[in-house]
Structure 1
Amino acid sequence: MTGRFGELLLILLIILVLFGAGKLPRVMGEIGRGIKAFKNSLNNKSEDDNEDNKN
């Protein structure tokens, strides 16, 4: 478990260096919105599949 935490910390440090502290909140917000949209599209697809199976 310690290895995974170290890897995550390293990735976050690289992101901080690449984007800087000023842009980081905006970048993380955009990533969060992207993940949310992806999950919503998966849920909508599964609902469409369920409706097709009922017909």
Structure 2
Amino acid sequence: MVTCPICKKAPPDAAYRPFCSRRCADVDLQRWLSGVYAVPAEPLDDAPPPDDEE
């Protein structure tokens, strides 16, 4: 059985899929906006520095 990825208790509601409610959808959004979730990446050190000769 598929459950809500936030609360793990309820099945998803079609209106908020994959979440069970607006509350769980908002919790997930807040985690993205606050930086709790992040996509790992390597820093780009090979980029040339900007030209300041104007």
Is the TM value for this pair above 0.5? no
Give the number of the structure whose residues are more often helix, by fraction. Answer: 1
Could you say which structure has the greater relative contact order, defined with CA pairs below 8 angstroms and 6 or more residues apart? 2
